[in-house]
């Protein structure tokens, strides 16, 4: 009986040992097999993906197209190409934005197959290192957000004519009968990095308790209305946003201040076509309109104390009086019989820069200057039959944006300032967007005086100015 029990125990032990040995062998085998497979794949990990050139979308001819503010086309200046960060020390007045995700050149991250590309390389390389692929994205110190492409994005727009009550008639293209809405769907995507998208709540938190002030012409009003609409989408109670003097936005009234009650902030606009003073003076026996290029606009006292200032001037410098310069520009009691518009523009900007250096505390206030926005007229100017009515497509990638002489003068003046000023360079990317102007849809059908008068200078909302405000958001986000 003892012998039989001993035999049973021994048999069980042998059987268990056999099972354990089998399992161990299987684990060793699969481990060896997996390692061999990984090494085999790693040895072939170096490869190149050839990307055929991205097809131009909706190609638009540029024949007889006049883009204003682009007559001077010097060699590209790195100051105008970029926008320089860390915070501007007025080596350029512009700014690259740091700490975004870097993208390998040639990478196209889009939801749709519609892309307009600038300077896109044709291949992506993925290299191996000890069996590990190098990342196609990496953290970088700087990002030139102006170097990129327009990407069709079904998540846009951020708002509509119906959801935003702040769009005046001149920019409300959809409400005025425009049926093609693709102009709302394009998002600017920087080439070398993944910039965070605009976040209205975060923007409102950044300006909590502060004054965000836009100063300039009607193109800056265009941008200001865009900003109001972008921020309004994060407000839960619409009644908590109001104009402090109960003014309705129109072209006739130039100064507005909208309060966002829950954030104790204001978003303001002050109209000034030239930043310097418009007036009248006696020339001979007649009183004529003049431009005091040595004196600031009369509303300048209201700009003081703002926490964020966004300036612009350019559009009105292309009108007949400013271009001819005959008995128009005034300094003190002197009315210049003839003065070149570029010289007058520089003198006016120097007057503005002196005001900023004297009245702005850089520790309290961020100052931005937006570059000239392009106009797109075919067959004439705004008052001579110029139009953009058939333009519902972007210019394709064969189009090369040019540099405005006014932008170069702005750059020169910013370099001489002691107050840091960030240049919001929107000129090049906006030149592609011939599709995004109001054209005949700058007024309701019943208010249109003539099909011959078209607006190819301002921008439909939602639209291109949303991108300008995205740039402003990125700069402010970096400085927090």
Residue positions annotated with a catalytic role: 218, 455, 458
Rounded to whole angstroms, the Cα distance separating 377 from 385 reads 9
Q: What is the length of the chain?
A: 480
Phi, psi angle pair for 424, to nearest 5°: -85, 100
Residue 161 CB-density burial (10 A; 0-12 exposed, 13-18 middle, 19+ buried): buried
**Does residue 293 contact residue 344 with C-beta atoms inside 8 Å?**
yes
Number of neighbouring beta carbons within 10 Å of residue 134: 12
DSSP 427: H
Tell which residue, 387, 362, 408, has the closest CA to residue 450: 387
Q: How far apart, in whole angstroms, are the C-alpha atoms of residue 246 and residue 266?
A: 14
SS3 183: helix
- Using DSSP, state whether 356 is helix, strand or coil: helix
∠64-65-70 over CA atoms, to 5°? 125
- In eight-state DSSP terms, residue 306 is -
Cα 407 → chain centroid = 16
Are residues 425 and 190 in contact, defined by beta-carbon separation less than 8 angstroms? no
Residues 397 and 118: their CA atoms lie apart, in Å, by 6
Helix (H, G, I), strand (E, B) or coil at 170: helix
Closest to 332 (Cα-Cα) out of 318, 345, 347: 347
Q: Answer whether 435's CB lies under 8 Å from 131's CB.
A: no
**Do the Cβ atoms of 80 and 70 come closer than 8 Å?**
no
Rounded Cα distance between 348 and 334, Å, is: 15
DSSP 475: H
Rounded CA separation 214/255 (Å): 10
DSSP conformational letter for 384? T
Pairing status of strand 308-311 against strand 334-335? unpaired
Cβ-in-10-Å burial (0-12, 13-18, 19+) of 299 comes to middle
């Amino acid at each position: 009986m003892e012998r039989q029990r001993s035999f049973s125990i021994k048999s069980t032990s042998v059987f268990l040992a056999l099972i354990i040995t089998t399992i161990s062998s299987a684990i060793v085998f699969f481990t060896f097999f997996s390692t061999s497979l990984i090494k085999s794949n790693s040895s072939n990990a170096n490869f190149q993906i050839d990307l055929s050139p991205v097809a131009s979308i909706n190609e638009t001819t540029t024949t007889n197209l006049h883009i204003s503010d682009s007559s001077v086309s010097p060699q590209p200046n790195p100051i105008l190409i970029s926008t320089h960060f860390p915070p501007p020390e007025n080596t350029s007045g512009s700014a690259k934005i740091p700490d975004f995700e870097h993208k390998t050149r040639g990478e196209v991250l889009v939801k749709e197959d519609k892309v307009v590309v600038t300077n896109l390389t044709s291949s992506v390389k993925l290299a191996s290192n000890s069996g590990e692929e190098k990342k196609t994205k990496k953290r970088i110190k700087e990002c030139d957000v102006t170097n990129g492409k327009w990407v069709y994005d079904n998540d846009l727009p951020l708002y509509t004519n119906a959801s935003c009550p702040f769009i005046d008639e001149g920019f409300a293209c959809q409400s005025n009968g425009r049926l093609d809405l693709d102009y709302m769907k394009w998002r600017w995507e920087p080439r070398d990095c993944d910039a965070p998208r605009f976040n209205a709540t975060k923007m409102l938190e950044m300006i909590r308790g502060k004054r965000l002030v836009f100063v300039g012409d009607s193109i800056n009003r265009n941008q200001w209305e865009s900003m109001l609409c972008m921020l309004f989408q994060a407000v839960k109670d619409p009644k908590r946003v109001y104009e402090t003097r109960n003014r309705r936005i129109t072209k006739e009234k130039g100064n507005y201040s909208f309060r966002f009650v829950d954030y104790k902030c204001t978003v303001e606009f002050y109209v000034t076509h030239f930043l310097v003073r418009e007036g009248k003076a006696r020339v001979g026996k007649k009183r004529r309109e003049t431009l005091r290029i040595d004196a600031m606009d009369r509303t300048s006292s209201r700009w003081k104390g703002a926490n964020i200032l966004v300036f612009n001037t350019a559009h009105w410098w292309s009108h007949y009086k400013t271009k001819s310069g005959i008995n128009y520009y005034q300094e003190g009691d002197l009315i210049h019989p003839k003065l070149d518009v570029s010289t007058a523009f520089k003198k006016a900007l120097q007057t503005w820069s002196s005001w900023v250096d004297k009245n702005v505390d850089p520790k309290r206030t961020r100052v931005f200057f937006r570059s000239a926005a392009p106009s797109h007229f075919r067959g004439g100017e705004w008052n001579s039959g110029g139009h953009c009515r058939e333009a519902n497509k972007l210019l394709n990638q064969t189009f090369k944006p040019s540099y405005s002489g006014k932008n170069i003068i702005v750059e020169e003046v910013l370099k001489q300032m002691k107050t840091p000023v960030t240049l919001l360079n929107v000129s090049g990317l906006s030149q592609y967007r011939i599709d995004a102007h109001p054209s005949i849809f700058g007024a309701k059908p019943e208010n249109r005086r003539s099909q011959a008068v078209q607006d190819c200078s301002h921008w439909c909302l939602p639209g291109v100015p949303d991108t300008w405000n995205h740039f402003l958001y990125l700069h402010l986000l970096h400085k927090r």
